Structure 1
């Protein structure tokens, strides 16, 4: 039978749904435990606690409820601090390498098929060639480290000219970076795409898909974006789908699914590998986290169903 579940492996981020997870490991564990009860979702997109007992408990909960992890690294590597992989301080670069290797080991422990990383802080056009060279050296090392666990490594394009201001921002540059890494032997290196980042980068989904697919697009985040400066969700804030002032609701999501079907990211028939898609979103204002994520499941599924109906897929 051809339906949403037969074509899409769908998940969400418990840590983003419960943002205090980024500050407190116990909150993170509680979020994962509670989210395991959410029906419909097959995967979780998050990192894991450094505390050995909590980490093993998180993994045990996910396995008990049949949730597979898609490992996402923390924001430590996105700021110019002690874990900047392209820092001017060689000790910080070493610390970044050690920290990301720890996360790779955690991802392997939970049997995640891939780990998502991002670029380092951008320091202006003049220093970009130097920083890209440093980042490539770092990236090739961690891609090789992933290979021993039969794990892919994905780069997530994030806006460079505003908000996060990371080195690897424009999707086309990220795709070029991945192709260069593959030529250098990192055959497990690929891309992911976040549809909510595209407006922040001034890109369309059609363009992002066209330039990503040749480098290997293995995962997609979905969400919303708000460009109204008076909104609390303005910028890179992971707003819930269809939030007031947001750019994406049911009609826009439907168009995104049409693009993903037409470009071949989502298969049109069961049997091929399903498309990996997840929500990386905060809850609706005034609404509980679990109610929010279940509402968004229905909204995203409805959008995919509508796209499939328009294209004659099912």
Structure 2
């Protein structure tokens, strides 16, 4: 029998409001609007540099009971950090930089931080990269635990576009399961586009990742290698990408049938990017309408 569960609508702000990157006042104002509107139950943000604005975000999200996830992707990308680096000094430096930012996440009211790993070092070095990633995540989890923060890891694609070390679901599951034996505050941020670009069947990948998954990004991608849009570009939902409304319903219905997430609410967001020449508010409205329709059909 299908078990009842509840998907919590969440907004991935750094992608939807990408043209406003660097304008932290805008993001504070927008979070206040989101809290007042009351549709979203969670927000995903980038690092906030201004201490006073972090305090404002914490106050707003605490009062409105919004779940906050802070992504470290920009920090990792801008500084070239590699948590799965084979070189030990490079790995340690990456860990130290992430740990420095955990306090900021806490000040902004985050109960989760989210990470991506480094480039794929090639088949011969993957075993070492995996061992080093386990060490990195373990150290980060220890620090995050002191703040009551969960550490989420998002695998990307290994061969198609981003070419990161952590990509295939089976590899991700094995590494995170190893970390979780000693650090319960590790989790999996699942992205549909990354699974598809890894040539995985999404429903099967979700079943494999199982209860490690804490949140889901419904992200679209063009899967034809000869298409100019091929890869992980956070394109709008629907054609020419694989993620249509019907496909999204199928994915969520499969999740419900598996009964993997009944014990806890499950955060879900639409990952779509607003480019510089596009209207971010229009992007958000379209994503919200898609999510409202989807959750009306699949929640409960």
Tell me how far 1:56 sits from its aligned partner: 3.2
On the 8 A contact 1:36/1:65 being kept in 2, the answer is no
**Unaligned stretches of 5+ in structure 1?**
none
For the structure 1 residues 83 and 67, does the alpha-carbon distance in structure 2 shift closer, same or farther, using more than 3 Å as the test? Answer: same
Q: What are the residue-to-residue correspondences of 1:246-257 with 2, within 5 Å?
A: 246-257=241-252
CA distance in structure 2 between the aligned counterparts of 1:256 and 1:197, rounded to whole angstroms:
14
Q: Give the CA deviation at 1:294.
A: 2.1
Q: Which residue of 2 aligns with 1:186?
A: 183
Q: Closer, same or farther in 2 for the Cα pair 1:53/1:137, shift >3 Å?
A: same
- Determine helix, strand or coil for the equivalent of 1:11: strand
CA–CA distance in structure 1, aligned partners of residues 233 and 137 of structure 2? 26
Q: Indicate how the Cα distance of structure 1 residues 285 and 54 shifts in structure 2: closer, same or farther if over 3 A, else same.
A: closer
Return the offset for 1:152.
1.6
What is the root-mean-square deviation of aligned Cα atoms in Å? 2.8
5 Å-filtered alignment, 1:1-314, equals 7-22=6-21, 24=22, 27-34=23-30, 36-38=32-34, 39=37, 40-60=39-59, 62-63=61-62, 67-77=66-76, 82-87=80-85, 90-183=88-181, 185-214=182-211, 216-228=212-224, 233-242=229-238, 244-265=239-260, 267=262, 273-283=264-274, 288-307=279-298
What are the superposed Cα offsets for residues 38-68 of structure 1, whole Å, 9 maximum, x if unpaired?
4311211122222324433444554566543
SS at 1:237 equivalent: strand
Distance 1:247 1:213 in 2: 23
Query: Once the two structures are superposed, what CA deviation does each residue of 1:209-264 show, in whole Å capped at 9, x if it has no partner?
Result: 111115x221111122123567675311112223x412112211111121121122
Counterpart of 1:70 in 2: which secondary structure? strand
Secondary structure class of the residue paired with 2:234: coil
Three-state SS of the structure 1 residue aligned to 2:14 is helix
| 8 A contact 2:86–2:132 mirrored in 1 | no
- Structure-2 change in CA distance of 1:56 and 1:14 (3 Å): same
Answer yes or no: is the 8 Å Cα contact 1:48–1:55 preserved in 2.
Answer: no
Distance 1:82 1:284 in 2: 23
Residue correspondences, number: 294
For the 8 Å contact 1:46–1:71, the answer to whether it is kept is: yes
Report the alpha carbon displacement of residue 181 of structure 1 after superposing the two structures with TM. 1.2
Instruction: Name the SS for the 1:223 alignment partner.
Output: strand
Secondary structure of the corresponding residue to residue 288 of structure 2: helix
Q: Which has the higher contact order (CA 8 A, sep 6+)?
A: 2
Q: CA deviation at 1:91?
A: 4.5
Displacement after TM superposition at 1:133 (Å):
1.5
Shift of 1:29: 3.6
Looking at structure 1, the residues matched to 228 and 284 of structure 2 have their Cα atoms a distance apart, in angstroms, of 19
The structure richer in strand per residue is 2
Cα 1:63–1:132, aligned 2, differ >3 Å: closer, same or farther? same
Structure 2 segments unaligned to the other structure (5+ residues): none
